[in-house]
């Protein structure tokens, strides 16, 4: 029996992780946590009988505690509760299926407690890669990527530990606005941005995908996971999401992982690594697949991607500003307070302001959160959010 804990068990990654648990029957769910969806948490508690269930929202936690009083599951609340779930005694792997910088501290706590990480929280590496990667190495912890692109790179690197990576080719769908003109991009709505052509994901990642900031965060994530500088990470737009990413070696050989777009594959691969298991679902049909279109990303229409490259190159606290400004701007866009184009504009201005002020070289976790708060305060005042 493999034992796991899941952060974000009610979200897109969390529910698909539980589908895999259900389909395989040899994984035991020790602990789960979610932000506030206690209706689904209650169902999950009754189905999987975890020892611990955490709820970020303290009021909802109190309500859930009453609802599941007849079970053996211990309900915990708030940040402390989430940390308790991350370090659940018997769990061997923590699946970090939550969105945002909130994932940083639980991931560090889990590594310290000796858990491998099935990493689905980009922000952890974007903001704190310089803390997480050396810590994991020091403790002999595996960081198993769950992001489909990074899983593809990870799979393409199998058996190539000693070979030098010449280039990472990070594929991107290009999002729903790939073919839009600059003029049409000015009038896109929230509803338009929430429609992703290939992947079914949560709202934050879907919006990030429409601006290509998601790909930018993935460039920084790849930089940390595979120890490759950003100038050797090339984004390739491949609209149908068949090639999930590629690695070019120094002899020119390119290794890729292909498949139908289904997040269950990278999740299952991380959970059973290094073994592959049967996974139900569609298979690629090369007879009906007439072409794989590959195009260059348009940095003029999607400036967020270029900003992420810049943040990755400068490093230090700048990626935290990029990510914080994006979180704040996307949240304002989701509330229809700002236009779609405002997201990348705000990120650019927040980054410029921070660079003028001075980049912090190796920020501590505490400093990372201070920078997030000061970025938020600066944006609230400047844009009246």
Which residues lie near Mg ion (CB under 5 A)?
Answer: 147-149
> Within 10 Å of residue 165's Cβ, how many Cβ atoms?
18
Phi-psi category of 232—alpha, beta or left, where left has phi over 0 and alpha has psi -120 to 50? Answer: alpha
Minimum CB–partner distance for residue 318 and Mg ion (Å): 22
Integer angstrom CA distances of residue 131 from 26, 113, 218, 376: 33, 15, 17, 23
CA dihedral 359, 364, 365, 366 (to 10 degrees): -90
Q: Which is nearer to Mg ion, 148 or 268 (CB)?
A: 148
Q: Which is nearer to Mg ion, 205 or 332 (CB)?
A: 205
Minimum CB–partner distance for residue 220 and Mg ion (Å): 12
The closest alpha carbon to 346, from 316, 301, 380, belongs to 380
Phi-psi category of 25—alpha, beta or left, where left has phi over 0 and alpha has psi -120 to 50? Answer: left
Q: Which is nearer to Mg ion, 52 or 235 (CB)?
A: 235
Q: Which is nearer to Mg ion, 38 or 95 (CB)?
A: 95
Q: Which is nearer to Mg ion, 116 or 147 (CB)?
A: 147
Q: Which is nearer to Mg ion, 41 or 233 (CB)?
A: 233
CA 308 centroid distance within chain: 15
Minimum CB–partner distance for residue 111 and Mg ion (Å): 22
Minimum CB–partner distance for residue 283 and Mg ion (Å): 21
Q: Which is nearer to Mg ion, 82 or 118 (CB)?
A: 118
SS3 292: coil
| Local structure of residue 295 (DSSP, 8 states) | B
What six digits make up the tokens of 58? 């303290």
Give residue number: closest CB to Mg ion. Answer: 147
**Is beta strand 165-172 parallel, antiparallel or unpaired with respect to 243-249?**
antiparallel
Minimum CB–partner distance for residue 156 and Mg ion (Å): 15
Q: Are 122 and 130 in contact (CB under 8 A)?
A: no
Beta bridge partners of 76: 54
Q: How many CA atoms lie within 13 A of 229 on its CB side?
A: 4
What six digits make up the tokens of 160? 């190539």
Q: Which is nearer to Mg ion, 27 or 170 (CB)?
A: 170
Minimum CB–partner distance for residue 272 and Mg ion (Å): 20
Which residue spans within the chain are E strands per DSSP? 2-7, 27-34, 52-55, 74-77, 93-96, 116-119, 143-145, 165-172, 233-237, 243-249, 254-258
Minimum CB–partner distance for residue 259 and Mg ion (Å): 14
Minimum CB–partner distance for residue 157 and Mg ion (Å): 17
Q: How far apart are CA 316 and CA 359, in angstroms?
A: 6
Q: How far apart are CA 158 and CA 241, in angstroms?
A: 21
């Amino acid at each position: 029996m493999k034992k796991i804990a899941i952060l974000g068990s009610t979200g897109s990654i969390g529910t698909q992780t539980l589908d895999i648990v259900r389909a395989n029957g040899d994984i035991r769910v020790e602990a789960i946590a979610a932000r506030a969806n206690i209706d689904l948490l209650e169902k999950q508690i009754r189905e999987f009988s975890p020892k611990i269930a955490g709820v970020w929202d303290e009021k909802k936690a109190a309500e859930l505690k009453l609802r599941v009083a007849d079970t053996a599951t211990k309900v915990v609340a708030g940040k402390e509760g989430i940390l308790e779930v991350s370090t659940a005694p018997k769990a061997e792997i923590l699946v970090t299926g939550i969105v945002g910088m909130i994932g940083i501290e639980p991931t560090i706590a889990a590594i310290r407690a000796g858990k491998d990480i099935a990493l689905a929280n980009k922000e952890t590496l974007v903001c704190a890669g310089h803390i997480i990667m050396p810590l994991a190495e020091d403790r002999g912890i595996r960081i198993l990527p769950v992001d489909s692109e990074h899983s593809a790179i990870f799979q393409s690197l199998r058996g190539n530990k000693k070979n030098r990576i010449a280039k990472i080719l990070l594929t991107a769908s290009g999002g729903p606005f790939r073919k839009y003109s600059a003029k049409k991009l000015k009038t896109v709505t929230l509803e338009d941005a929430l429609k992703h052509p290939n992947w079914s994901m949560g709202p934050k990642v879907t919006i990030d995908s429409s601006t290509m900031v998601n790909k930018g965060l993935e460039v920084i994530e790849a930089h940390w996971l595979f120890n490759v500088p950003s100038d050797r990470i090339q984004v390739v737009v491949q609209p149908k999401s068949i090639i999930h990413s590629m690695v070019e070696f120094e002899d020119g050989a390119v290794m890729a992982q292909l498949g139908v777009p289904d997040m269950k594959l990278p999740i299952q691969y991380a959970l059973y690594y290094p073994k592959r298991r049967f996974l139900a679902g569609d298979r690629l049909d090369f007879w009906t697949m007439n072409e794989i279109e590959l195009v260059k990303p348009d940095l003029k229409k999607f400036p967020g991607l270029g900003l992420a490259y810049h943040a990755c190159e400068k490093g230090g606290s700048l990626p935290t500003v990029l990510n914080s400004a994006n979180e704040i701007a996307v949240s304002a866009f989701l509330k229809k307070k700002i236009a779609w184009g405002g997201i990348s504009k705000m990120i650019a201005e927040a980054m410029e302001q921070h660079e003028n002020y001075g980049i912090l070289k190796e920020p501590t976790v505490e400093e990372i959160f201070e920078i997030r708060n000061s970025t938020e305060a600066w944006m609230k005042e400047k844009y009246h959010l």
